[in-house]
Amino acid sequence: MGVPVAIRLWVLGVIAVILQLTAVSQVTLLGVTADLTPLIIMAVGLLAGSVAGACMGFGMGLFLDMALLQTLGVESLIGVAVGYGAGRLRELRDPAHTLIPVAAGAAATAVWTVGFSVMQFLLGVDAPVSFLLARDILATIVVNAVIALPVYALVRRAVEPYLPDDPRRRRRRAYTTGGLSPISR
């Protein structure tokens, strides 16, 4: 990962967490607020790979924990899992369909919200566990799936020109000998 990409990712993470805490958390849809953090981590993982996704997840999670004065490392651990998973999806399957960010955004949000709930429960935080928690988790997944494509497009626009070329995405050369193609007979 080159220096310009690392700096761009750092600035993107800081701006995203500040935007999440100051503006996005004030707007409710379906009774829940959208969560940009797992979507941005997922987008970086899909664009830059598993190591960059895991590093972005750790950094954004740690910054979010410090900003909210929570137990340090809870969201970092979940962010590493989300970023690494999205990066491995890119490395193993090379998703090229347009709607992959929507499905990956829903999966990343599911891992983020369920993982955070389980970690808080395991740490002994006194919070009521009821069907309202399941409803809120499901509504958050739906809201984030709806906004996943625009968030992915913004992250792609900010980061992709500075990423190195992927050797798997080279175009095939056209058959240039002028004769018959060896494929058609």
pLDDT computed for residue 98 by the predictor: 85
The closest of 76, 73, 85 to 110, measured between CA atoms, is: 85
Domain assignments of the chain as residue spans, ordered by start: 3-164
Angle at 83 between CA 78 and CA 89, to 5 degrees: 125
Higher pLDDT, 11 or 1: 11
Radius of gyration of the chain (CA): 19
pLDDT computed for residue 181 by the predictor: 56
Across 2-6, 57-61, 111-115, least confident range: 2-6
Alpha helices, DSSP H only, in the chain? Answer: 3-22, 36-48, 50-67, 74-93, 100-122, 131-159
In the structure, what pLDDT confidence band is assigned to residue 36 with cuts at 50, 70 and 90? very high
Q: What average pLDDT does this structure show over 10-30?
A: 91
Which class for 114: exposed (0-12), middle (13-18), buried (19 or more C-beta within 10 A)?
A: middle
Q: What is the pLDDT of residues 137-150, one digit of tens each?
A: 999 999 999 999 99
Q: Taking a C-beta distance cutoff of 8 angstroms, is the pair 75, 65 a contact?
A: yes
Higher pLDDT, 10 or 174: 10
CA distance 180 to 139: 57
**Would you say the C-alpha torsion 148, 151, 154, 155 has a positive or negative sign?**
negative
Inform me whether the pLDDT recorded for 179 exceeds 90. Answer: no
Inform me whether the pLDDT recorded for 55 exceeds 90. Answer: yes
pLDDT computed for residue 123 by the predictor: 87
In the structure, what pLDDT confidence band is assigned to residue 156 with cuts at 50, 70 and 90? very high
Q: What average pLDDT does this structure show over 47-58?
A: 93
Tell me if the domain spanning 3-164 has CATH number 1.10.1760.20. yes
Higher pLDDT, 185 or 123: 123
| Residue 174: CB atoms within 10 Å | 5
Percent of the chain with pLDDT over 90: 57
Bridge partners, 28 (sequence order): 33
Q: What average pLDDT does this structure show over 52-72?
A: 93
CA distance 107 to 41: 12
- CA distance to 42, 94, 102, 147, 185, per residue, from 89 (Å): 10, 7, 14, 20, 38
pLDDT computed for residue 71 by the predictor: 87
The closest of 82, 152, 138 to 115, measured between CA atoms, is: 82
Q: What average pLDDT does this structure show over 17-30?
A: 90
Q: What is the pLDDT of residues 103-145, one digit of tens each?
A: 999 999 999 999 998 998 888 877 777 788 889 999 999 999 9
Q: Taking a C-beta distance cutoff of 8 angstroms, is the pair 107, 45 a contact?
A: no
